[in-house]
């Protein structure tokens, strides 16, 4: 039964999108081969399988009425599945947010570098450069 769940569309879809999100986040932050990324990837498949199993058990609970004790246990499994699925969604959202922050930081650094280049160029032209006598004659503009 577990192999059937692993081969099912829910599990494969969750695995593909989840691992893609983890790797995208790691790539965006430069931690592609870092320990945190490897740890997240190693735990991800087991956590996802646990969620799929819990989801399947929750679906079976609606079909099989074997007493309130069993129903309560399966309901707890379903609640855990929802909690774990929300955690996975939050991880994906966190990866997207981290990616946006990294892209924003890179853009800000590029603008800072451009401004520094312009400042240096103007200062060099006004001050006459390193030799003290050359450079652009700003008085010729007036």
Average pLDDT over the chain reads 78
A 10 A CB-CB count for 23 gives 15
Measure the CA–CA gap between 18 and 48, rounded to whole angstroms: 9
Other CB atoms within a 10 A radius of the CB of residue 94 amount to 12
Structure-model confidence comparison of residues 33 and 94, the more confident one = 94
User: How many separate helices (H) and strands (E) can be counted in the chain?
Assistant: 4, 0
8 A C-beta contact, residue 45 and residue 15: yes
Q: How far apart are CA 84 and CA 115, in angstroms?
A: 46
pLDDT band at 21; cut points 50, 70, 90: confident
Share of the chain above pLDDT 70, in %: 78
43 and 113 Cβ atoms separated by less than 8 Å? no
Q: In this structure, are residues 77 and 52 in contact, taking their beta carbons and an 8 Å threshold?
A: no
Angle at 49 between CA 75 and CA 65, to 5 degrees: 30
For the cut 70, the answer to whether the pLDDT of residue 6 exceeds it is yes
Which pLDDT score, from 0 to 100, does residue 131 have?
A: 46
Report pTM. Answer: 0.37
Banded model confidence at residue 96, pLDDT cuts 50, 70, 90: confident
CA distance linking residue 25 with residue 94, whole number of Å: 8
pLDDT digits 0-9 by tens, 26-82: 888 776 667 788 888 888 888 888 888 888 888 777 666 556 566 677 778 888 888
pLDDT of residue 127: 64
């Amino acid at each position: 039964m577990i192999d059937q769940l692993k081969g099912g569309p829910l599990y494969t879809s969750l695995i593909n999108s989840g691992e893609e999100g983890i790797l995208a986040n790691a790539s965006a932050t430069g931690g592609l081969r870092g320990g945190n990324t490897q740890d997240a990837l190693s735990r991800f498949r087991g956590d996802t399988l646990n969620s799929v199993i819990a989801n399947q058990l929750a679906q079976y609970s609606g079909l099989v009425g074997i007493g309130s004790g069993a129903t309560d246990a399966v309901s707890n499994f379903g609640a855990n599945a929802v909690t774990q699925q929300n955690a996975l969604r939050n991880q994906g959202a966190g990866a997207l947010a981290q990616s946006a922050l990294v892209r924003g930081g890179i853009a800000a650094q590029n603008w800072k570098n451009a401004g520094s280049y312009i400042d240096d160029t103007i200062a060099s032209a006004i001050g006459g450069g390193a030799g003290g006598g050359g450079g652009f004659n700003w008085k010729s503009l007036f």
